[in-house]
Amino acid sequence: MSLLFTASLISKDHIKSTLFDIASPLQLYFLKMISIVIPTYNASRFIPDLLSSIFKQAVEDMEVIIVDDRSTDNTVELVKKHPVRLIEMEKNGGPAKARNKGVREAKGDIIFFLDSDVVVLDGTVRAVEEYFQNNPSAKCVIGICDTKSLNKGFVPHYMAMFEYIHLIGTPGNTVSVFAPRCGAVKRDFFLEIGGYNESYKGADVEDFELARRVNRTDPIILNEKMLVRHQFANFKQAVRNYFKRTVMWVHLFFKEKKLDNAGPTAPSNGIAALCAFASFVLLCFMPFAPFIKNAVILLLIIFFIANLKWWNFMRKEAGLLFAVRALFLNYFLGIVIMYAAMYGALSYPFSKKGLAAAN
């Protein structure tokens, strides 16, 4: 009897081991297919270079889905010249809705989100595939923007470098943000957590809100092998975007009570913005109260220390003059951010999300 019992156990263990050995490669196989989902709206300037950068590094099992959000230029005509699946929205609904539509129509197990105003640097699609093959339990991974922007100019170059340095270097490469300009997620998991919040109609903070829901159950990992080059904002666009997104981020903060550990919304940037705003206000009163000078100097020192990581990075990468100009730009944007934050705090109780939270 004991021999039969032992043989039975060995047989069961052997069967389990065999099934696991079979399941593992099958799991990797079925995780191979990548659906690249790209929302577009009047993106004719970028689509040819974007699609060219994708297809020259295409992997074996891949599809590209373009979800056009009722473009009024010739985006659709340009897209049709490439071997992609084109989905045309019935009416303009914003990037969140377009991305959700693309995911629902996707055939792949992995969704690789890209913005329409990027080019994908060599090896990135393969890096997405290999990441999920090597980490079968992973749910979500993001890439990073190159330190050079697609467009020329001081402000876009600053924005590219600023974003880059604020994403790298977190413990375990775990970040609290999700960037759909270069981010991948398992399709089933994305649908399970509800996808993007479609109440956000523009390119607002829908990515931050999604990241909050991802982080409730799973980490978001930064993979520096996933690289894109992005079209960043010019000065006027940056000021407008910073104000709008800060207001919406503050509303999200009051709702979720969560800070970010990386990206432009990291705490160090909040400290720098607060010091910039406070020192600017005190400077206005200094002619009437000279003793304020010491407080201004202290705030400026803290402002510089809070920015020291990215400032040193830019100084080494782009030179001292660039880094000095960047510090002045950051100071001005810090003032904009604090004005927006105060407006966001005052307006939150009257916003739809604030009223919903109160109820």
Domains in the chain: ranges and CATH: 31-232 (3.90.550.10), 267-358 (no CATH)
Give tens-digit pLDDT for 81-120: 999 999 999 999 999 999 999 999 999 999 999 999 999 9
Whether 140 contacts 186, CB under 8 Å: yes
Give residue 21's pLDDT band: very low, low, confident or very high (50, 70, 90).
very low
pLDDT more than 90, % of the chain: 80
For residues 39 and 118, is the Cβ–Cβ distance under 8 A? no
pLDDT single digits (tens) 316-359: 999 999 999 999 999 999 999 999 999 999 999 988 655 455 44
User: How high is the pLDDT of residue 358?
Assistant: 46
Helix axes 293-306, 308-318, angle to 10 degrees: 60
User: What's the whole-model pTM score?
Assistant: 0.88
**220 with 178: CB under 8 angstroms?**
yes
Of the CA atoms within 13 Å of residue 341, those in its CB half-sphere come to 14
Residue 130 has pLDDT above 50, yes or no: yes
Q: What is the mean pLDDT of residues 31-40?
A: 90
3-state secondary structure 68-99: ECCCCCCHHHHHCCCCCEEEECCCCCCHHHHH
**What's the mean pLDDT in 282-294?**
88
Question: Do the Cβ atoms of 118 and 42 come closer than 8 Å?
Answer: no
